[in-house]
Amino acid sequence: MKKLKHWLTPLMLLGVSQAQGANQEIKALFQPDPSMPWKNEFINQTPNSGYCAIYPEQCSDNKTFSIQMPIRFHTITPMSLNEGVWIKAPAQWRSLTVTNPETQQTSTVEVRISGIGSVFRLSRPVTELTGIADILEAHRKLWTTSSWVNAPPPCQYSGVGAYTPSTYRFFWKTPQSGSCNKIAAFNVGHMSFEHLDVAYELRTPNPLAMSAGVYRGSLTYSVGRVAADFNMGPLFDSDDANLTLDFVLDVQHTLKVDLPPGGNRIALEPEGGWQPWLNTRRIPERLYRDQTFHISASSRFKMYLDCGGTATSEYCFLYNDNQSSYAAMGVSVTLPGGLTDTGGRPVRRQRLRPHEVNAVVFQPGIYVDRQQGTLHFDVEKNSIARILTADKGNKYSQTVIVVFDSEI
């Protein structure tokens, strides 16, 4: 978070406890990208392991990520003919709250398990269990619905299968919740799953609506027997009782304002300059100056004035050299497209007022990268005649600070 002030002078890993459960950190980062200002998304920073690391092309198109965890499942009794494995994963979307501990601002993250896999290990080679010499054919015949490259519904085929005489690597997509059952066509005996390999999808909040900072939150899944979120059916238990995903969302916003060279000195003049006044002595309708600036912003921010002296709730004041006379001056702002007020309206000559309590809040719809805005300075009309007649020849000046503040 940052506060920008411009002085203008008129004139946002894996740790496992075998007894308790497994923890996996999921990191995501938002940084505005000038080349794609419309892309208001978090980027997953968690390295892929397991399925997506081995088969990245299967995951990149679907924005799917995977993690492999040393959670082991094992049979509690031998598996007999017509018994089997009932694989279940929590495929439905679940929500969790992430919190910025500095600001206490919260947002919602959603996650679903979109795939599950492992390597299962048999206690005896598949050729001995089936009496079939060909290893691949033996793996096909060990189960009533062919080998484990073929996913039973509601799971879906992913194209992944690799085997040895005693092991088989598989991965299934889980478009919906439900038990995906493989039934034994022979007495299998004891078997185990050597790890838990899951793919997941994320729905992250709109980072432009979040203050800068790090947000944290956790979601815990149960692991083990039949009623658990992750389970392999009634014949299996697991070494860990739960899996906790620890989410870390890092919001790194940009708020930057640049004035052109000399733009910090504002000369207030009538329209057309001073020559018409010198020629006719006709009181001009306006004394003003429009000063352009460039702004880059990816977060909400507020604006207000620090007048550097006496001020009301509406105006800053310019003073003559001996402080005996003054003129009220108003300041307003026009912001580029992509920045709006809190009602979503374009910002055109929005009045800025002295003191932070009178600040006006603006918000981005997209990342705005070095787009032009304008500060408008106008002497209050009732002051013009007085300073041009009663105090002619004197100079009026003041230092005014325009504050752009992302700490909301």
pLDDT tens-digit readout, 149-194: 999 999 998 888 899 999 999 999 999 999 999 999 999 999 999 9
In a domain, 134, yes or no: yes
314 within domain boundaries: yes
Residue where one domain finishes, among candidates 251, 280, 315: 251
What pLDDT score does 3 carry?
Answer: 52
Total domains in the chain come to 2
Q: Give the pLDDT confidence of 131-157 residue by residue, as tens digits.
A: 999 999 999 999 999 999 999 999 998
Helix (H) or strand (E) holding 389: helix 381-389
Query: CA neighbours within 13 Å on the CB side: how many for 377?
Result: 30
Tell whether 190 and 227 lie within a shared domain.
yes
Structure token pair of residue 268: 């207030």
Domain containing 89 equals 33-251
Helices (H) and strands (E) in the chain, counts: 6, 29
Instruction: Give pTM, 2 decimals.
Output: 0.80
The stretch 24-49 carries a mean pLDDT of: 91
300 and 318 co-located in one domain: yes
Dihedral over Cα of 204, 206, 207, 213: its sign:
negative
3-state secondary structure at position 58: helix
User: Domain boundary at 193, 217, 251, which?
Assistant: 251
Going 264 to 266 to 272 to 275, the CA torsion angle's sign is negative
- Sign of the C-alpha dihedral, residues 266, 270, 272, 277? negative
Q: Do residue 83 and residue 135 come from a single domain? A: yes
Same domain membership, residue 175 and residue 152: yes
236 and 286 fall within a common domain: no
Residue 341 falls inside a structural domain: yes
Tokens of 192: 């185990």
**Residue ending a domain, choose from 251, 269, 285:** 251
**Cα 102 from chain centre:** 17
SS3 159: strand
Residues 180 and 209 in one domain: yes
Half-sphere exposure of 204 (CA within 13 A, CB side): 26
Whether the predicted pLDDT of 2 surpasses 70: no
**Each residue of 340-350: pLDDT tens digit?**
999 999 999 99
